[in-house]
């Protein structure tokens, strides 16, 4: 019977986390090369680390969802959901009765709609209006 000790699990977890962080940095270099280059690898790694911490605090589970959150942070600012005009995002991300994937779907869709100048769909408008922006 194979037994994996806590220390071994911690080493494995660090390796997986480091691999994901490198993949996330590469993602930004591949998808937004000029912006990633202007930001520099140190700041980019800081953004990725902040996204990993933030994603965990919001209960995200999949690397895909973490990357989507990091994309929002890259586009709108590291603490975008804490800023005036974006508190609706925090409201959605903190709704623990919704699945993590659904929450990041809603935030991403509303952000895309705002960026394109489209009104949010009614279900998003309802979620976003639960706490007015300051």
pLDDT tens digit sequence for 62-112: 999 999 999 999 989 999 999 988 999 999 999 999 999 999 999 999 999
The answer to the question of residue 35 being in a domain is yes
Which structure tokens are listed for 114? 């705002």
The answer to the question of residue 21 being in a domain is yes
Instruction: Tell whether the model's pLDDT for residue 126 goes beyond 60.
Output: no
Which structure tokens are listed for 48? 């990725």
CA end-to-end distance (rounded Å), the chain: 58
The answer to the question of residue 24 being in a domain is yes
Please state the pTM of the whole predicted model.
0.80
The half-sphere exposure of 72 on its side-chain side, counting CA atoms within 13 A, is 30
The answer to the question of residue 113 being in a domain is yes
95 with 103: CB under 8 angstroms?
Answer: yes
Which structure tokens are listed for 10? 């911690």
Cα–Cα distance for residue pair 101/68, rounded to 1 Å: 10
Cα–Cα distance for residue pair 58/103, rounded to 1 Å: 9
Residues 101-124 have a mean pLDDT of 82
Cα–Cα distance for residue pair 97/21, rounded to 1 Å: 28
Give the H/E segment covering residue 24.
helix 6-31
Whole-angstrom Cα Rg for the chain: 17
Range of the domain at 50: 6-128
120 pLDDT band (50/70/90 cuts)?
low
Which structure tokens are listed for 82? 């804490």
The answer to the question of residue 133 being in a domain is no
Structural domain count, the chain:
1
The answer to the question of residue 1 being in a domain is no
The answer to the question of residue 134 being in a domain is no
Instruction: Tell whether the model's pLDDT for residue 23 goes beyond 90.
Output: yes
Instruction: Tell whether the model's pLDDT for residue 60 goes beyond 90.
Output: yes
């Amino acid at each position: 019977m194979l037994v994996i000790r806590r220390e071994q699990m911690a080493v494995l977890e660090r390796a997986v986390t480091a691999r994901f962080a490198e993949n996330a940095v590469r993602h930004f270099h591949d998808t937004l090369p000029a912006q990633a280059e202007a930001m520099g690898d140190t700041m980019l790694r800081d953004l990725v680390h902040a996204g990993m911490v933030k994603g965990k605090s919001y209960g995200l589970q999949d690397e895909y969802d973490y990357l989507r959150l990091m994309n929002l942070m890259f586009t709108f600012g590291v603490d975008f959901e804490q800023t005036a005009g974006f508190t609706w995002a925090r409201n959605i991300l903190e709704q623990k009765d919704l699945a993590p994937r659904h929450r990041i779907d809603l935030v991403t869709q509303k952000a895309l709609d705002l960026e394109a100048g489209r009104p949010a769909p009614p279900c998003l408008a309802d979620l976003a209006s639960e706490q007015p922006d300051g």
